[in-house]
Amino acid sequence: MRLLFLGPPGAGKGTQAERVAKELGIAHVSTGEMFRSHVAKGTSLGSKVQAIMAAGDLVPDEITIAMLHERIAESDAHDGFILDGFPRTLPQAEALDDELGQEALDAVVSLEVPESELIERLLSRGREDDTEETVRNRLAVYSADTEPLIAFYSERGIVSDVTGVGDIDEVTKRILDALGH
């Protein structure tokens, strides 16, 4: 099963993607985690993306697409995966189509949380790139660049809207239910 999770920063996408991937026995592919790991290890990619992430901007598509390409070629992604944080722009979505074909995704889960709650959650989570200014920028970047992907995939009839409000277990159940599990 190949799944894609979409949702604004703070929606709980990463947490839910990890839980659902475990439940379904498929790989969890998080570009945000991959970038954070490069920064933590001090790789040359990490030094390129550190300031971009700290400002809440997007890493250039070319870098992100190349990293994703390598990741999904790894053996654990062979039997399926959840993409979390990729694609985040239309060119990334088009690159994914080129890579896998237009029919490849079985479902897209769109996790929905009201903006006021997103801001509250992001400011209380205390990650390095979660300052107030960065949070506002990330939400603006999400609306401009990533939200249009919901319409892009809706045209294929594969999007399930799931509300991300409620306790973590409850949201996981809702997602599994939407996926028919």
Check residue 81 for interaction with ligand ADP (CB under 6 A): no
What torsion do the CA atoms of 41, 79, 171, 97 make, to the nearest 10 degrees?
Answer: 80
Check residue 71 for interaction with ligand ADP (CB under 6 A): no
Q: Considering only residues 17, 27, 56, 109, which one is a binding residue for ligand ADP as defined by CB under 6 A?
A: 56
Check residue 92 for interaction with ligand ADP (CB under 6 A): yes
Q: Could you count the other beta carbons within 10 Å of the beta carbon of residue 87?
A: 25
Task: Kindly indicate which of the ranges 21-29, 50-58, 70-78, 99-107 contains the residues binding ligand ADP, using the contact rule CB under 6 A.
Answer: 50-58
Quick check: helix, strand or coil at residue 57?
Answer: coil
Quick check: helix, strand or coil at residue 170?
Answer: helix
Nearer residue to ligand ADP within complex by CB, 85 or 164: 85
The whole-angstrom separation of Cα 28 and Cα 48 is 24
* Positions in the binding site for ligand ADP (CB under 6 A): 9, 13-14, 31-32, 35, 52-53, 56-59, 64, 85-86, 88, 92, 138
